[in-house]
Structure 1
Amino acid sequence: MGASAQYQEIGDPEAATPYDYRIDYEMVELRRNDLRRRATGFEQLGAIEDFSREDHFNKKTDVDRTDLHLFVESLSKCLGNSNFGLSFEFENLSFQPKKSPKPILSEVSGRINSGSLWGVMGASGAGKSTFVNVLMGKTSHIKGVNKVNGVPGNISRYRKIIGYVPQDDIVLSELTVRENILHSARIRLPRSWTDTEIQHHVDILISCLQLSHVCDSLVGSTSAPVISGGQRKRVSIGMELAAAPMALFLDEPTSGLDATAAASIMSTLKALTRLGMTIVTIIHQPREEIFESLDSLVLLGAGRMIYLGPQTGIQLHFESLGFNFPTMEIQQILWVTSSLVKEGKHWAARQRVQAQNPERIPIPSMAEMNALTTTIKSRGAPFWRQTYYCFNRSMVQQYRMKSSFFFELGVGAMAGFLIGLAELNQGGKNFRGIFNPPYEMLSTSIDYASVPQMALLVGLAVGLTDSAPGVKIFGEEKLVFWREAAAGHNRFADYIGKVISTIPRVVLANFHFSTLFLLLATPRIAWQAAFAANLLYFYCIYGLASVISMVTRREDGPLLAVMSSLIVGVLNGMSPTLAKVKKWHLVWLWRASPGTWLAEAYFTENITPLRYLYQVDMAKNTVGYLFWYFTDDCLMLLALASRGNEVMK
């Protein structure tokens, strides 16, 4: 972008029309004109040599050209016949949330060509993030026309070939640098690739990102980091680049980084744009050198377009509006933008909505569109393979969190021991009813509540034991879950893989709990039956905790999960009894709680051995439970637990 844009002033600026200023972009766009129609899907390896001769590449980046060359070859293989990048064109875009008094975006028009590094700037609340979300198809109910490669339609269909790097580094702390990037590649690269090819692709990318020396290091959390902030940011970027996107959006990629790390990231992004990729990054308060590295700029103010064009032309643009200053600095740009927003008049004259060439983005041929469609369809591993990869990843995480696993086993054993002690005095004699005829007169005081009470204690103990761990297993990765889902990851595969990986810990926790409880309480229910019922209830609590973790804030998840587990435990038909609840016409509510089915299963298995002695039908009518349906009770527990799968899907 060595050439400067030239402006020709016509008439008074205050009375100007949208076309009173003409920007000569011919010189500015010279270096990118060739990319518009020639192959820009990374297979034009000559672009590497052109860019490698630039002083910017030679002075500001340490990326080895051989690694970059190999990475481009790998990307070219991934893109197949799709020999062009993604260009975005938008006309009169407007977006106003239902509860917002005014629109966040209003009458935004312009175009973003492929093979360039764009910066989106503006004051706080200018609509930068909303603008990027609209371009990526993440925002619905918008007005206006949004096109990709000149073709209007649902942009979300391109999500498999569009990467997004959020401002916060959403990575898994328990995995290494390489494992984070490798998982993304395995899930999102073409399903025809072998694992050897994927591994090779990832190794080259890691080398290009200068992460080879820390590739086997754990990422760590932000509170307890293992690698540096700049390396963590490059891991987040690498997770998207591993999927070989045709366009990449980033939200403040240099936030919190020192000058060296920020320059390194921007140099890498600059290199990728020279190979055909479209990169759009939100910049809040960029350093001067970062601002100068941008090819083009989108400047927003109060949801309107202030400027869209080459970064080198912005000073002339503002001078044409009457703002004169010797040098254009970033703070001056933001100040000028704020001034325009405050004035709020003559927007048509001040919006330079890329009023450069009347030339439009060439519409791709049918063959090119078919090739792009084929590329999109080929992306992403099949469902069963995604489930397998997610299962493996979760098992690795749990292995590296052994202290949490053993703590859960210890809490389960302690809970079983304490509940067993509470039932110790019963000595297993937890039911007394009316004797069968002709011995009714010999009956003493009846006891129909002890078994439901025992089931209540079991339900509360399991809830307190496993609700918080369930939130930790699922809720800690909520941001990762949604990031991967937005990129085309199958959400159900992710959840199923996670659920399957928790089966061993649930079984072992239940084993410790049930064994100690049954040894001390000695109820009449068989060990196998109690173990099965308790295991399914453990599964229910895990499912409940996972759903809560996905719909609440991270810090609120554990408390709400514990409270919810207590509620479903109390709604078990002990007090008030199901017979009384039936009179209130609220049986459906109690039947929606897994605690009721657990209590009914316990009641059936503890009372069945005493049919020869007591009138159990009378007990059934009194408490309201159904008898002789232990298998059905277990199946209902399984169905309620699996309901979480449907909610997550």
Structure 2
Amino acid sequence: MPWAKPAPRFVSRGQAYRQLDDEQYPGFTDNDFQMEPNIRMLSRRPTGFVELGLQEVEFVNELHNTDAEKKTDLHLFVQSLSKCLGATKFGLSFEFQDLGFKPPKSTKPILSDVSGTINAGSLWGVMGASGAGKSTFVNVLMGKTAHTGGVTKVNGVAGKISKYKKIIGYVPQDDIVLPELTVRENILHSARIRLPANWSDSEIQSHVDILISCLQLAHVQNSLVGSTAAPVISGGQRKRVSIGMELAAAPMALFLDEPTSGLDATAAASIMATLKALSRLGMTIVTIIHQPRQEIFESLDSLVLLGAGRMIYCGPEEGIQPHFEGLGFQFPDHTNPADVMGDIIAGEGRHYKPKGDATVQGLIDHWATRQMDRPGLNKHSSTITVSEMNSLTAIVKLRGAPWYKQIWFCFQRSVLQQYRMKSSFFFELGVGALAGFLIGLAELNAKGQNFRGIFNDPYEVLSSSIDYASVPQMSLLVGLAIGLTASAPGVKIFGEEKLVYWREAAAGHNRFAYYMGKVLSTIPRMVLANFHFTTMFILLATPVIGWLPAFAANLLYFYCIYGLASCISMITRREDGPLLAVMSSLIVGVLNGMSPTLQKVRSWHIVWLWRASPGTWLAEAYFTQNIGPLGYLYRIEFARSALGYLLNKFSDDLLMLFVIGTALRIFAFLGLRFMWRAKQR
């Protein structure tokens, strides 16, 4: 330990774990958890400050005895956690028995017969060779994987851990953060979404400020995170941001997948020191770790060792060396015990045990035999009282902002992202203006005369060659231009954040709020792009249709193309999305009833396919607005009959464009919600 521990102060267990005041959570007196008969007679292992024999302030002074500012920051963070959790020593313990996982198409399980207990308020490491099942174990334990077996308990209560995901943090191996946001903005968004609904914004802001200081990110809090390809902050700082996004939710337990991966020795040690401090605050920290340096290894309270998907050891870190020495392995002097242990569980134990069984299977069999001598999952159980369980239920229910606030927060974040990506936004506006200019230029020679029909009686004999196709052709060009303008940006907005969405969905974010925030944030973008396109088009083409009707029809077609792009982005890979979206926009643009005409399509009995395309409704809207005013001069009913469009249905056409665009978004949301469900657990 890097700090000197003072003489222990004797604190009674009753004082250390006084029951939570039931009046602290008015209105939450029910308990929807199945309680075991013996839960009232069990107590929990001392954790946090009580385990150290310290009071909160004393612990803070010991931890940071040379930096007064950090003393204050950590003390305030403890107070903030206490306010959120109800008690600083209130953590989660996890018990598991016979955990297993077998992929659907595999005959051999990846994980089997894994049993043990993870005590609350401690720092646990999960170690093993590559392919040993470390990530699988954590995913099964957290309920992130289907096709599993076994029993899991949280604080002695059987059930799925996923029901507690609002109070359990998970930090993936890859730093899934938004590069367009600053350090503080990434953490603040997570806090606003996941902290208790009754917290004011000022309280949330204060909590985030304290957390940023504790994570030593205050000096870069206003810096953009940047992408891994173009980083702005260091790798260690980026990892702290990822951890901070989970700590912002004040979790009772935190799982991390190789938090030191890709970091240098100093940054890795700093991250682990932070996790050690958090465990001493009462949190349960479980981290997958690979080849740790000695200082990091010795900072772990306990370890889970896995080999070939089976348990090799589960217990205190100081018991590792005696355990393997008891099996005949020798730890050479002046070596890192973590390296020796790593070699042994990776199947290289012969270097440390010249004679006898040194295989991984032998280690597995020995641990299984040892556990048979100590049957019972609850022998070392770490449970809580009924009153504490009721309080835990109340905490879970209070967590998370209401869905309508989450929509607002997600909308704000998405708008800010688009603002930070100005080049992409201005490029879309430029493409829209250029497309409108080119389409208008193509129609310039017509000088707005896009229709010639048969004159009304008695002037039929004066009629020359008819022209029914120019208006549908014009609408075709408009549809193709809008498709080319909006399809790629639509994919970029919706499709490049699947990893962010999966992480947030797994953390308990409202999926509908996330998607609605994204949808609403695209409206200003569509309006501005359409304004540039329609203005340039109307100025040059001067069609009969007015600017406002054309703006409304074009805007709704933008709405449809963005919806189509969101559907494409949900079902394709990121790199394939823009191309497929452009191709799809061209297809729906061509299906506009010009050639073949709707009248011809009706004879094929597949007119529904054309009517399902927004291109047909855009063409019909343009047909009505450009042909209808000429009814005093031409027999426009002949043209309507020849082409198959309907006249005087402009409002219905706009309504159908809105319906199609909305339906596409519903399909996209369903794809987002139900595809890749395992990644959202």
* Fold shared, TM-score > 0.5 on shorter chain: yes
The answer to whether 1:70 aligns with 2:76 is yes
Q: Which amino acid aligns with 2:101?
A: F
Aligned length: 617
251-260 vs 234-243, which deviates more? Answer: 251-260
Shift of 1:42: 8.6
Q: Structure 2 CA distance, aligned partners of 1:342 and 1:453?
A: 76
User: Corresponding residue for 2:366?
Assistant: 349
User: Corresponding residue for 2:91?
Assistant: 85
User: Corresponding residue for 1:384?
Assistant: 404
User: Corresponding residue for 1:208?
Assistant: 214
Q: SS at 2:663's partner residue?
A: helix
User: Corresponding residue for 1:280?
Assistant: 286
Shift of 1:320: 4.0
Q: Structure 1 CA distance, aligned partners of 2:539 and 2:308?
A: 69
- Residues 103-252 of structure 1: matches in 2 within 5 Å? 103-252=109-258
Q: SS at 1:220's partner residue?
A: coil
- Residues 317-332 of structure 1: matches in 2 within 5 Å? 317-326=323-332, 329-332=337-340
User: Corresponding residue for 2:346?
Assistant: 338
Shift of 1:459: 1.4
User: Corresponding residue for 1:21?
Assistant: none
Q: Structure 2 CA distance, aligned partners of 1:167 and 1:353?
A: 33
User: Corresponding residue for 2:354?
Assistant: none
Q: Which amino acid aligns with 2:44?
A: R
TM-score normalised according to structure 1 size: 0.88
- Aligned-residue RMSD, C-alpha: 3.0
Equivalent pair of 1:307/1:353 in contact (CA under 8 Å): no
Shift of 1:510: 0.5
Of the candidates 307, 320, 335, which is equivalent to residue 313 of structure 2?
307
Q: Which amino acid aligns with 2:507?
A: A
Equivalent pair of 1:307/1:351 in contact (CA under 8 Å): no
Q: SS at 2:246's partner residue?
A: helix
User: Corresponding residue for 2:543?
Assistant: 523
Q: Structure 2 CA distance, aligned partners of 1:541 and 1:496?
A: 17
Shift of 1:247: 0.8
Q: Which amino acid aligns with 2:366?
A: A
* 1:213-268 Cα shifts (integer Å, max 9, x gaps): 11222222222222211111111111110100011111111122222211111111
Shift of 1:362: 4.3
Q: Structure 1 CA distance, aligned partners of 2:343 and 2:485?
A: 56
Shift of 1:408: 1.7
Equivalent pair of 1:308/1:353 in contact (CA under 8 Å): no
Q: Structure 1 CA distance, aligned partners of 2:533 and 2:360?
A: 69
Q: Structure 2 CA distance, aligned partners of 1:106 and 1:629?
A: 65
User: Corresponding residue for 2:7?
Assistant: none
User: Corresponding residue for 2:9?
Assistant: none
> Closer, same or farther in 2 for the Cα pair 1:450/1:317, shift >3 Å?
farther
* 1:109-163 Cα shifts (integer Å, max 9, x gaps): 2221111111112222222222212222222332221221121223222111011
Shift of 1:383: 1.6
The answer to whether 1:449 aligns with 2:457 is no
Equivalent pair of 1:108/1:305 in contact (CA under 8 Å): yes
Q: SS at 2:178's partner residue?
A: coil
Q: Structure 2 CA distance, aligned partners of 1:528 and 1:503?
A: 17
Q: Structure 2 CA distance, aligned partners of 1:278 and 1:255?
A: 21
User: Corresponding residue for 2:624?
Assistant: 604
Equivalent pair of 1:47/1:274 in contact (CA under 8 Å): no
* 1:463-513 Cα shifts (integer Å, max 9, x gaps): 111222222223333322221121111122122222222222211111110
- Residues 452-601 of structure 1: matches in 2 within 5 Å? 452-601=472-621
* 1:356-405 Cα shifts (integer Å, max 9, x gaps): 79624244333222211111111111122112222222232233222322
> What is the identity percentage for the equivalent residue pairs of Structure 1 and Structure 2?
72
Q: Structure 2 CA distance, aligned partners of 1:473 and 1:353?
A: 55
> Closer, same or farther in 2 for the Cα pair 1:577/1:318, shift >3 Å?
farther
TM-score normalised according to structure 2 size: 0.84
539-548 vs 41-50, which deviates more? Answer: 41-50
User: Corresponding residue for 1:648?
Assistant: 669
Q: Which amino acid aligns with 1:136?
A: M
Q: Structure 2 CA distance, aligned partners of 1:42 and 1:415?
A: 66
Q: Structure 2 CA distance, aligned partners of 1:87 and 1:536?
A: 53
Equivalent pair of 1:37/1:84 in contact (CA under 8 Å): no
- Residues 358-373 of structure 1: matches in 2 within 5 Å? 359-373=379-393
Equivalent pair of 1:105/1:130 in contact (CA under 8 Å): yes
User: Corresponding residue for 2:650?
Assistant: 630
Q: Structure 1 CA distance, aligned partners of 2:302 and 2:617?
A: 63
User: Corresponding residue for 1:419?
Assistant: 439
The answer to whether 1:619 aligns with 2:639 is yes
Q: Structure 2 CA distance, aligned partners of 1:380 and 1:71?
A: 19
The answer to whether 1:406 aligns with 2:426 is yes
Equivalent pair of 2:599/2:641 in contact (CA under 8 Å): yes
Shift of 1:576: 2.5
Q: Structure 1 CA distance, aligned partners of 2:298 and 2:50?
A: 27
Q: Structure 2 CA distance, aligned partners of 1:177 and 1:329?
A: 37
Shift of 1:449: 2.3
Equivalent pair of 2:253/2:284 in contact (CA under 8 Å): yes
Q: SS at 1:299's partner residue?
A: strand
Gaps of 5+ in 1: 3-30
Q: Structure 2 CA distance, aligned partners of 1:554 and 1:61?
A: 47
User: Corresponding residue for 1:264?
Assistant: 270
Of the candidates 311, 316, 326, which is equivalent to residue 322 of structure 2?
316
Q: Structure 1 CA distance, aligned partners of 2:400 and 2:303?
A: 33
Q: SS at 1:431's partner residue?
A: coil
